[in-house]
Amino acid sequence: MTTPLRVLIIGGVACGPKAGARLRRLMPDADITMIDKGELVSYGACGLPYYVEGVFPNIKALTHTQVGLPRTPEFFEKTKGFKVMNRTEALSIDREKKTVRVKNLTTGEETDLSYDKLVLATGGRPFRPPIPGIHLKNVWFMTHPDDADTLVKEVESQGLEKAVMVGAGFIGMEMAEALIYKGLDVTLVEMQDQILPGVLDKDMADYTQIHLDDNDVEVVLSERVTALLGDDADDKLTAVQTDQNTYDADLAIIAVGTRPNFELAEAAGLSCRRGIIINEYCQTSDPDIYAGGDCVVNHYAGKGAGDYMYAPLGSTANKQGRIIANHIAGRPSPFSGITGTGIVKAFDFTVGRTGLTETQAIRLNLDYESVIWGGPDKPHYMKDARYLLIKMLANRKDRKVIGVQVAGMGAGDKRLDVAASTIFYGGALDDLADIDLAYAPPYSPPIDPIAACAQVLSNKLDGLAHCISPAEAKRRMDQGEVVLLDVREPDENKMLKMAYDKVIHIPLGELRDRINELPEDTDILPFCKISLRGYEAQRILNASGYNRVWFIEGGHEAWPYELDYLGM
Amino acid sequence: MTTPLRVLIIGGVACGPKAGARLRRLMPDADITMIDKGELVSYGACGLPYYVEGVFPNIKALTHTQVGLPRTPEFFEKTKGFKVMNRTEALSIDREKKTVRVKNLTTGEETDLSYDKLVLATGGRPFRPPIPGIHLKNVWFMTHPDDADTLVKEVESQGLEKAVMVGAGFIGMEMAEALIYKGLDVTLVEMQDQILPGVLDKDMADYTQIHLDDNDVEVVLSERVTALLGDDADDKLTAVQTDQNTYDADLAIIAVGTRPNFELAEAAGLSCRRGIIINEYCQTSDPDIYAGGDCVVNHYAGKGAGDYMYAPLGSTANKQGRIIANHIAGRPSPFSGITGTGIVKAFDFTVGRTGLTETQAIRLNLDYESVIWGGPDKPHYMKDARYLLIKMLANRKDRKVIGVQVAGMGAGDKRLDVAASTIFYGGALDDLADIDLAYAPPYSPPIDPIAACAQVLSNKLDGLAHCISPAEAKRRMDQGEVVLLDVREPDENKMLKMAYDKVIHIPLGELRDRINELPEDTDILPFCKISLRGYEAQRILNASGYNRVWFIEGGHEAWPYELDYLGM
């Protein structure tokens, strides 16, 4: 009789439990133990903002199974068939002896656990900025069910009213929504000059920011938080100080990024570079030690995007748990890597990206073209059709799609998933235009927005569509060099105008007859509501010999700057 | 000076206008004319059921642009820059002379129009079954705005109350919903033994049918309509007669399929086979004659699915209009073909498929495996999480995904589009499990349903998951040969039971301790709510030497047969 394989898993959320459960199914005889230093294991941390928001009434939903069983060590032993030791911290790894020194946090007792295969699923932790006052009461990090639980209780018992969110990343956005819906005043302070830095390009972020404004979030950009101020008497937060202002606050949430927990791995001599480095089977530089989830850096599945990307996400963590179990069990299945897909609901907006942003493409020195497309996510006659903005990047040479961003009330998640698939499979613009997507009026227009966007970018690469982004149009308008050509109908023009003094208004249907009203020696920027007619106008002008013509991508619907609403 | 290229387009809906508009943008000098025998051109026929339902109040939404301009010949001339002749019928094509004989339906006058390139976008027509009474009043086909317009008016003015839908395809399903929402009694009569024949496999159709029942649609299967009965006095419909029954009806909608209008092409000697045959540039057997939209048969983009597929859809028609214009303008862009994607909203259900059904896979003699997966479309703690059923087929050898069907209240359209992308790009199960899809709780669980389904099918192919479809389980239960193993919690078991006399109930957490309560000489079928625990149970039993174990795919949530609700 052979000794069963001893597998030790460090970390009890997402990657760890997934690896353990899958491995038990693959290897009925393995000796599997999972340790975690916390009391709770296998909780749904991504759901915290939605508990705070009140989407579900009981925080147990995040720590219990779908049918209400608490995910305790006993639960894992009984249903998943492996041993779980909570309140047990891993102190060090002895790779030669293949042991891990662990400490029971209840008794203080230290022991050594042996392993044949070790899985590091040590996760990440919120970055704790080194500023005065970070220890004050009513300052939260939002990573553990206890955080959300105490936040909700304290908001009620203390009657907290003014919240400052530090950091406008995913968690900051989600918490801003949650607290606004709870009736608090919310100020969102971000050090960068845009919300969702690193996720969106500035143009898409500016567009999204309007929606935050509409929902009463006070967005403060380009200010760095320097201190949290408190009341000397009770040590409670009173204000958040930045390098430029001071904001009253009785509640703050710090969400300025996640840092991988790789100290244990690094101390054991495993290769790390801002996270544990792994191969496609999630093996570290020691083949008997695996790692997955928020403690690792990931490979980018797309081409030309550099080696590594740190993108801590529950979805990736779960996949890697499976990859690890497969490899340990002798059923290797290489992981293809990630494409940096991320999404966030911000009030009625769906905002996200997959692949590379333009900022990244520039940094990587890629030869790319990009476009912004806007339009409804269903035929215009469907009453629940919603506007959606898509930004797409493609390589100039092979026309492969390298990045897509979405923002708007329309169903952007679906288009993002199709784009993520296209990037994953190495598809080009013409592929995206051809995919036989599911069409019926309740779901999409005959030409799906993601296909329509690919067509416009294709037209741009082919020199048919001459167009510029809203940001570029604004820059040129600010220099006063250009004439705008509004090709909308008179009613539309009456309702809403671009805030600019050189606008010529000729409805598209009259353009062919009135083309001589246009100046020949000036750059002309046609636009309409979504620039479908703007594009048509550009082609008409080109056909009449006007060559200094660029329509404004996305039309006034995509315009994140000032507009004059006359009909209001 | 050269003569401009003369392009004649026959057919003014979807493919035709798209080809004309795109061609004008590509070739400013071309001489483009589009003819159509109807009064209206370029209307949104797919929206008709939603007008009837009352989703939008004015049928002009289907015949006017987004900003309210009617799509008249004048509109096309002014904004799209090409000539449109409505009420003009094409009688014949003279390919040698390159002329088309046309008739002005207002004046009766016949003339010849010359072309250098001809585009056939003649569309399809509803199949008109050769049964008595088809001419009666209050019998509608639903293909033209006039149909929907008169239907709504007559329902109101005559007070029509009892509708029979003949045919349970997409239009039948959409109209059933529309008329139920309008307050009518609706009976849906289908000749086949399932709804959505040709679209779904019977198991997915049976599951969907429960939802129609829940919404008071009386579904009648396996009955062929033999006659429509009318009142001799006023020629109005009174009943629909089938080969087995007679159903009272004061309104009937006939939706038993679309037939391609290819007679003109066939008479001109172009290659046709149940539709016009085209190459990847939409050229017919005469390279100067193109065809696209509902009059052509399409190439299947997936592998091994036979040559041709007739799938009339507005989405494909629009793509082909673009392909045609590109080729005429000397910018050839081959069309990749279709994957038979189709979707329909049926009340609160989203139902659809992409790729091949199991029925087709069997007919094509493919070596495939299939699975049914069910589960929520978001984490269970999100209050708007909805259940979704996915059926997936993959080739056994290369594990490529060859078909996906969805049904349920969950967001199936998104998963269908990812599946369509995967089939389009030739992706395998392991690809689908790896794609970096957009994850956040408002959009999906950490492991997206489409990835989870791919994993289960992968496990099934690898011999890890032993499972059978609900239909197969039912068959074996009916033979009385099997024991069901309910591994749910006691509360769940009290609320709802499978209607079967040999059920052993052991909650999953107790299974390892109570395994000796199970018979060793019988086939055992574990299940739970969605068969996640059912799978776990199967692995536990296998590990203890039980090898005649198959869990029921999708659990009781996917069970389309009788269930005993005790808690109700």
Query: Read out DSSP for B421-469?
Result: HHHHHT-BHHHHHH------TTT--SS-HHHHHHHHHHHHHTTS--EE-
Say whether B46 and A489 touch across the interface (CB within 8 A).
no
Q: What angle do CA A380, A384, A388 make, to 5 degrees?
A: 70
CATH code (residue A36)? 3.50.50.60
In this prediction, residue B471 carries a pLDDT of 95
Mean pLDDT score of chain B: 95
Q: Are residues B501 and B423 in the same domain?
A: no
Is pLDDT above 80 for A302? no
Q: Are residues B472 and B552 in the same domain?
A: yes
Is pLDDT above 70 for A306? no
How many domains is chain B partitioned into structurally? 4
Using the structure block, give the residue that is written with the tokens 């936040």: A151
B157 pairs with which residues across the strands?
A: none
Q: Are residues A478 and A391 in the same domain?
A: no
Q: Most A CBs within 10 Å: which of B333, B417, B422, B492, as the mutation test of the A interface?
A: B417
Asked if residue A316 is part of any domain, the answer here is yes
SS3 B394: strand
Is pLDDT above 60 for B1? no
By the CB < 8 Å criterion, does B64 face chain A? Answer: no
Over the range B503-541, which residues count as b (16 or more CB within 10 Å of their CB) and which as e? bebbbbbebbeebeebeeeeebbbbbbbbbbbbbbbbbb
By the CB < 8 Å criterion, does A436 face chain B? Answer: yes
In this prediction, residue B220 carries a pLDDT of 98
Is pLDDT above 80 for B566? no
By the CB < 8 Å criterion, does A79 face chain B? Answer: yes
Q: Among all residues of chain A, which has the CA nearest to that of B513?
A: A78
Whole-number Å distance between alpha carbons of B305 and B402: 9
By the CB < 8 Å criterion, does A316 face chain B? Answer: yes
Asked if residue A84 is part of any domain, the answer here is yes
DSSP 8-class letter at A5? P
In this prediction, residue A66 carries a pLDDT of 85
Q: Are residues A121 and A264 in the same domain?
A: yes
Are A426 and A404 within 8 A, CB to CB?
Answer: no
DSSP 8-class letter at B4? P
Say whether A314 and B437 touch across the interface (CB within 8 A).
no
Residue A304: pLDDT band by 50, 70, 90 thresholds? Answer: low
* CA nearest neighbour of B301 among B394, B197, B421, B414: B421
Asked if residue B42 is part of any domain, the answer here is yes
Final residue in a domain of this structure, among B461, B495, B526: B461
In this prediction, residue A568 carries a pLDDT of 46
In this prediction, residue B310 carries a pLDDT of 87
By the CB < 8 Å criterion, does A123 face chain B? Answer: no
Are B317 and B297 within 8 A, CB to CB?
Answer: no
CB-CB neighbors (< 8 A) of B491 in chain A: 67-68
Whole-number Å distance between alpha carbons of B350 and A378: 15
The whole-number average pLDDT for the span B121-126 is: 97
Q: Are residues A370 and A446 in the same domain?
A: yes
By the CB < 8 Å criterion, does B314 face chain A? Answer: yes
Final residue in a domain of this structure, among B200, B224, B256: B256
Give one word for A120, left, alpha or beta, with left for phi > 0 and alpha for psi -120 to 50: beta
Longest alpha-carbon distance in chain A: 93
Query: Which tens digit of pLDDT belongs to each residue from A13-52?
Result: 999 999 999 999 999 999 999 999 999 999 999 999 999 9
Residue B302: pLDDT band by 50, 70, 90 thresholds? Answer: low
How far is the first Cα of chain B from the last one, in angstroms, to the nearest whole number? 83
Amino acid in the structure at residue B167:
G
Q: Which of residues 461-520 of B touch A (CB under 8 A)?
A: 462, 464, 488-489, 491-492, 508-510, 512
Residues 6+ apart with CB under 8 A from A123: A11, A13, A14, A15, A260, A261, A293, A294, A295, A312
Mean pLDDT score of chain A: 95
Q: Among partner residues A14, A55, A383, which is closest to B382 by beta-carbon distance?
A: A55
Q: How many Å lie between the alpha carbon of A28 and the closest alpha carbon of chain B?
A: 6
For B481, phi then psi, to 5°, come to -90, -15
| Six token digits for residue A118 | 């070790």
Are B371 and B456 within 8 A, CB to CB?
Answer: yes
Q: Are residues A391 and A405 in the same domain?
A: yes
Q: Are residues B114 and B150 in the same domain?
A: no
Proportion of chain B above pLDDT 90, given as a percent: 94
ipTM for this model: 0.96
Q: Are residues A119 and A11 in the same domain?
A: yes
Q: How many Å lie between the alpha carbon of A323 and the closest alpha carbon of chain B?
A: 10
Measured between alpha carbons, how far is residue A171 from residues A187, A315, A415 in Å?
A: 14, 16, 22
- C-alpha A72 chain-centroid distance: 31
Are A245 and A226 within 8 A, CB to CB?
Answer: no
Whole-number Å distance between alpha carbons of B568 and B555: 20
Q: Which of residues 8-27 of B touch A (CB under 8 A)?
A: 14, 21, 24-26
Residue B300: pLDDT band by 50, 70, 90 thresholds? Answer: confident
By the CB < 8 Å criterion, does B67 face chain A? Answer: yes
Is pLDDT above 80 for A305? no
Asked if residue A1 is part of any domain, the answer here is no
Final residue in a domain of this structure, among A206, A229, A256: A256
Whole-number Å distance between alpha carbons of A85 and B201: 47
Query: Which tens digit of pLDDT belongs to each residue from A528-549?
Result: 999 999 999 999 999 999 999 9
By the CB < 8 Å criterion, does B549 face chain A? Answer: no
Rg of chain B, C-alpha, whole Å = 27
B398 burial level (CB within 10 Å; 0-12, 13-18, 19+): exposed
The whole-number average pLDDT for the span B250-257 is: 97
* Domain of residue B408, residue span: 348-461
Asked if residue A341 is part of any domain, the answer here is no
Q: How many Å lie between the alpha carbon of A545 and the closest alpha carbon of chain B?
A: 11
Q: Which of residues 230-289 of B touch A (CB under 8 A)?
A: none
| Side-chain half-sphere exposure of B503, counting CA atoms within 13 A | 17
Whole-number Å distance between alpha carbons of A313 and A260: 12
Asked if residue B337 is part of any domain, the answer here is no
DSSP 8-class letter at B557? G
Measured between alpha carbons, how far is residue B360 from residues A169, A359, A377, B337, B467 in Å?
A: 47, 47, 32, 18, 22
Whole-number Å distance between alpha carbons of A505 and A334: 58
In this prediction, residue A303 carries a pLDDT of 55
Are A248 and A238 within 8 A, CB to CB?
Answer: yes
SS3 A355: strand
Mark out the alpha helices in A167-313 (DSSP H runs). 170-181, 202-214, 263-267
Whole-number Å distance between alpha carbons of A520 and A527: 18
Q: Are residues B454 and B534 in the same domain?
A: no
CATH code (residue A480)? 3.40.250.10
Asked if residue A335 is part of any domain, the answer here is no
Residues 6+ apart with CB under 8 A from A364: A304, A305, A306, A356
Residue B24: pLDDT band by 50, 70, 90 thresholds? Answer: very high
DSSP 8-class letter at A428? B
The whole-number average pLDDT for the span A145-150 is: 97
SS3 B118: strand
B88 pairs with which residues across the strands?
A: B104
Quick count: other Cβ atoms within 10 Å of Cβ A218?
A: 14
Q: Are residues A101 and A249 in the same domain?
A: no
Residue B568: pLDDT band by 50, 70, 90 thresholds? Answer: very low
Are B342 and B353 within 8 A, CB to CB?
Answer: yes
Q: Are residues B146 and B181 in the same domain?
A: yes
Proportion of chain A above pLDDT 70, given as a percent: 98
Whole-number Å distance between alpha carbons of B460 and B366: 17
Asked if residue B61 is part of any domain, the answer here is yes
Is pLDDT above 50 for A566? yes
Contacts by A477-481, CB closer than 8 A, 24 or more apart: A477/A525, A481/A522, A481/A523
Is pLDDT above 70 for B460? yes
- Choice between B1 and B81, residue whose per-residue pLDDT is larger: B81
Give the total residue count for chain B. Answer: 568
Q: Are residues A97 and A194 in the same domain?
A: no
